[in-house]
Amino acid sequence: MSGLIKSSIARKVVMALSGLFLVIFLVLHVTINLASVVSPDFFNEASHFMGYNPLVQYLMQPILIIGVIVHFVMGFGLELQNKRARGISYVKYSGAANAPWVSRNMIYSGLVILAFLGLHFYDFWVHEMTYKYIEMNPENPTRYYAETVEKFAPFWRTIIYVISFVLLSLHLWHGFSSSFQSMGVNNKYTPAIKSFTKIFAVVVPLAFVFIALYHHLNPITH
Amino acid sequence: MKLYLKIWRQKDAETKGQIVDYTLDGVEGDMSFLEMLDILNEELVSKGEEPVEFDHDCREGICGTCSLQINGEPHGPDRLITTCQLHMRKFNDGDTIVIEPFRAKAFPVIKDLIVDRSSFDRIQQAGGFISVNTSGNTVDANAIPIPKEDADKAMDAATCIGCGACVAACKNASAMLFTSAKVSQFALLPQGQVEAADRVQNMVRQMDLEGFGNCTNTGACEVECPKGISLENIARMNREYLSATTKG
Ligand code: SF4
Ligand code: FES
């Protein structure tokens, strides 16, 4: 087993599994967010549940944070190791001749997403923690919708969110189907997995973009 | 045609190398890339200069000895060929061609364009074989029936000539395509089963020890491989490795 942890294939699989886990989380996230456009009441209910259910708070939330950290730390470590594996750089290297841009620049799309997560955590998570545990405010199951819409009032934040979702799309475009290959799945279903990846990588980030723009353009008027 | 060549020159493993410019006239389209370099070398020798050292042997695409990163791609711009099979008609009069050695920490430069690919040999020695008794009562391999599809896939994997283009092309200098081809050619056949678990673990361990990078599934290796070794082999090796490691 110890060999498994140290080996390049094991690290590949850890990247794949943590990535797929984050993909599942993304589906959950986009579903709840879509509710904010369709039904503010349902959005409030779902957000309140996520914010106060002990299972979500004390089990799923830490697992999610660990998932992000593992995926990032390992991805970054692998990138450094891979750079070292070349040794002396080529004077001329035609990367575009044999591999798509997205696959060669996962570190950059990933870094943008990570920076975005910093802002996103500050916007919502830090806010939540302060509200609940520092200011010790009472539970208010109807506050979430207004808080969310308000976040998208500034143009700059909306734009940063939209750009980050574009980078997320690029990251998923390579990462999703790639994780199957890493886990050893390359068979007659592979073309279907690849097609699904492309649809997923466009539809999910597009939904997030839509939600951000929708709230930016439809502020709550008192 | 007239060509402007930018060639990596390096005296030996210890000395720092650099790109040196050469102009070569009279190159014909039906020459191979290596013949073009032969002509350059004849000119250099007649001028009393050191010829450019490069690897070659069969000059017909079967030995995997020739290498060269040509304009940023291993074995040049054409597909499914080695450098010795690359024709100069792929280039135009007045072109500038950058010629470098395959770059990887695990492929140190010996001189000019020649790199040491013995790391591949060590991966192969770590498990790329089957143990058979050859004391006189060897069973004919063909005595064991093998499904046609498996035999074909094993044969495809076995066409890897160990040239190292996969490593040279990969942005991570990963040797997964080579190693997976060598694992797969046995993993697909009944003769390879007995030592399958040890084979994949030992070969992957050696691959990592040599300092090759980690595969990120860019697929550059498959595109540049002169033998068209498929990424399916890498997935197979991942499967073999996972099942071997988690079981044992
Ligand atoms: S897999 Fe292809 S590119 Fe890599 S060593 Fe074998 S023949 Fe060369
Ligand atoms: S010299 Fe043998 S493959 Fe090119």
Note the pLDDT tens digit of each residue in A117-141.
999 999 999 999 999 999 999 999 9
* Ligand 1 atom having least distance to the Cα of B177: 1
Contact B237 A9 (CB under 8 A): yes
Task: Sketch out chain B's domains with CATH numbers.
Answer: 3-110 (3.10.20.30), 117-132+141-246 (1.10.1060.10)
Q: Whose CA is nearest to atom 1 of ligand 1?
A: B178
Question: pLDDT for B89-137, tens place per residue?
Answer: 999 999 999 999 999 999 999 999 999 999 999 999 999 999 988 888 8
Question: Has residue A44 been placed in a domain?
Answer: yes
Task: Round the average pLDDT of chain B to a whole number and report it.
Answer: 97
Contacts of B242 in chain A (CB under 8 A): 9, 13, 183-184
Q: Please write down the HEC assignment for all residues of A155-172.
A: HHHHHHHHHHHHHHHHHH
DSSP letter assigned to residue B168 = H
- Which has the closest alpha carbon to A176: A135, A209, A204, A213? A204
A114-127 burial by CB neighbour count: b if 16+ within 10 A, else e? Answer: eebeeebeebeeee
CB B128 near ligand 1, within 6 Å: no
Probe site for chain A from B10, B241, B242 (most A CB atoms < 10 A): B241
Question: Has residue A80 been placed in a domain?
Answer: yes
Ligand 1 midpoint to CA B208 (Å):
17
Residues of A with CB under 8 A from a CB of B: 1, 3-4, 6-13, 78, 81-82, 84-95, 97-100, 103-104, 106, 174, 178, 181-186
Is residue B32 within 8 Å of B85, Cβ to Cβ? yes
The mean pLDDT of A173-198, rounded to a whole number, is 97
Question: pLDDT for B193-242, tens place per residue?
Answer: 999 999 999 999 999 999 999 999 999 999 999 999 999 999 999 999 99
Distances (CA, A) of A216 to A47, A147, A168, A178: 20, 12, 20, 34
pLDDT of residue A209 exceeding 60: yes
Partner residue opposite A3 with nearest CB, options B73, B172, B245:
B245
Probe site for chain B from A86, A109, A178, A193 (most B CB atoms < 10 A): A86
Question: pLDDT for A26-55, tens place per residue?
Answer: 999 999 999 999 999 999 999 999 999 999
Query: The CATH number of the domain where A105 resides is what?
Result: 1.20.1300
Q: How far apart are CA A48 and CA A190, in angstroms?
A: 39
Residues framing ligand 2 (Cβ under 6 A): B 56-59, 61-66, 82-84
- Which has the closest alpha carbon to A166: A216, A199, A208, A211? A208
ipTM tops the 0.85 cut:
yes
Q: Which helix (H) or strand (E) holds B69?
A: strand B69-70
Question: Has residue A222 been placed in a domain?
Answer: no
- Which has the closest alpha carbon to B223: B80, B90, B85, B120? B80
The pLDDT assigned to B126 comes to 98
The pLDDT assigned to B248 comes to 62
Q: Which helix (H) or strand (E) holds B96?
A: strand B96-100
pLDDT of residue A3 exceeding 60: no
Tokens of B238: 């991942």
pLDDT of residue B49 exceeding 80: yes
Contacts of B72 in chain A (CB under 8 A): 90, 92-95, 97
pLDDT of residue A1 exceeding 50: no
Any idea which residue has 């084979």 for tokens?
B199
Question: Has residue A135 been placed in a domain?
Answer: yes
Q: pLDDT confidence of A2, banded at 50, 70, 90?
A: very low
Q: How far apart are CA A215 and CA B191, in angstroms?
A: 64
Question: Has residue A187 been placed in a domain?
Answer: yes
Contact B235 A184 (CB under 8 A): yes
Tokens of B3: 């060509």
Q: pLDDT confidence of A186, banded at 50, 70, 90?
A: very high
Q: How far apart are CA B79 and CA A27, in angstroms?
A: 40
Q: Whose CA is nearest to atom 3 of ligand 2?
A: B61
Contact A8 B171 (CB under 8 A): no
Say whether residue B217 is in contact with chain A using an 8 A CB cutoff: yes
pLDDT of residue B139 exceeding 90: no
Partner residue opposite B72 with nearest CB, options A13, A90, A104:
A90
The pLDDT assigned to A27 comes to 97
Q: How many CB pairs under 8 A join A and B?
A: 144
Q: pLDDT confidence of A69, banded at 50, 70, 90?
A: very high
DSSP letter assigned to residue B30 = T
pLDDT of residue B81 exceeding 90: yes
The pLDDT assigned to A5 comes to 61
The pLDDT assigned to B133 comes to 84
Share of chain B above pLDDT 90, in %: 94
For residue A74, what are the domain limits? Answer: 2-217
Question: Has residue A89 been placed in a domain?
Answer: yes
Question: pLDDT for A92-120, tens place per residue?
Answer: 999 999 999 999 999 999 999 999 999 99
Residue B130: how many CB atoms within 10 A of its CB? Answer: 15
Q: Whose CA is nearest to atom 5 of ligand 1?
A: B162
Task: Determine if residue B25 is left, alpha or beta; phi over 0 gives left, psi from -120 to 50 gives alpha, anything else beta.
Answer: beta
The pLDDT assigned to A220 comes to 86
Report the domain count for chain A.
Answer: 1
Contact A186 B236 (CB under 8 A): yes
Ligand nearest to the CA of B227: 1
Task: Round the average pLDDT of chain A to a whole number and report it.
Answer: 94
The mean pLDDT of B143-147, rounded to a whole number, is 94
